[in-house]
Amino acid sequence: MKKALIVEDFRPIAEIWKKALLHENYTEIEITDTTDQIEALIASFQPDIVFMDINLKGKRDGIETVAELIPQFPSLKVLFLSMHGQPHMMEKAMKTGAKGYMTKSSPLTEIKNAVKHIESGEQYVCDQMRMHWKID
């Protein structure tokens, strides 16, 4: 049974990602629109993957949140899905310890590919951003 947490403040986008994850055999999917109290949610739900937006409701944005989460939950696999297509935003996000970065304009097929890479422990950056990021 695979679990996913979607942190996205625009519900229609979150529902699209949820459908994509259901096709990837994620059977338990939680959606939240804020970073407030996310530590407790992750501790209780224990997701296998977290889809994280950058611009969110709450005291912290997605980048700040992941930078605080990774030391607390070192095995947490985070995939940023953001409207930001600027290289400096991707670099800032990936420096948090996230496993991947996708733009919201990425096709669903590429998101599914990213999930497979991240499940395998690999990093993944979408085609649009790949030329700006060296994957180890």
pTM: 0.93
More confident residue, 135 or 90: 90
pLDDT for residue 8 is more than 70:
yes
> Residue 6 belongs to what domain range?
2-130
Q: What is the tens place of the pLDDT at every residue in 34-51?
A: 999 999 999 999 999 999
pLDDT for residue 58 is more than 90:
no
In a domain, 89, yes or no: yes
**Which pLDDT value is given to residue 133?**
64
Q: What is the tens place of the pLDDT at every residue in 95-136?
A: 999 999 999 999 988 988 999 999 999 999 999 898 776 654
Query: Tell me, what CATH number does 21's domain have?
Result: 3.40.50.2300
**Which pLDDT value is given to residue 60?**
94
Mean pLDDT of the chain: 93
**Which pLDDT value is given to residue 57?**
84
Alpha-carbon distance 66 to 12, whole Å? Answer: 23
In a domain, 135, yes or no: no
In a domain, 53, yes or no: yes
In a domain, 103, yes or no: yes
Alpha-carbon distance 33 to 39, whole Å? Answer: 14
In a domain, 109, yes or no: yes
In a domain, 32, yes or no: yes
In a domain, 136, yes or no: no
In a domain, 22, yes or no: yes
- Listed as own residue / partner, the contacts of 121-124 with beta carbons closer than 8 Å and 24 or more positions apart are 123/94, 123/99, 124/79, 124/99, 124/100
Per the structure, the count of domains in the chain is 1
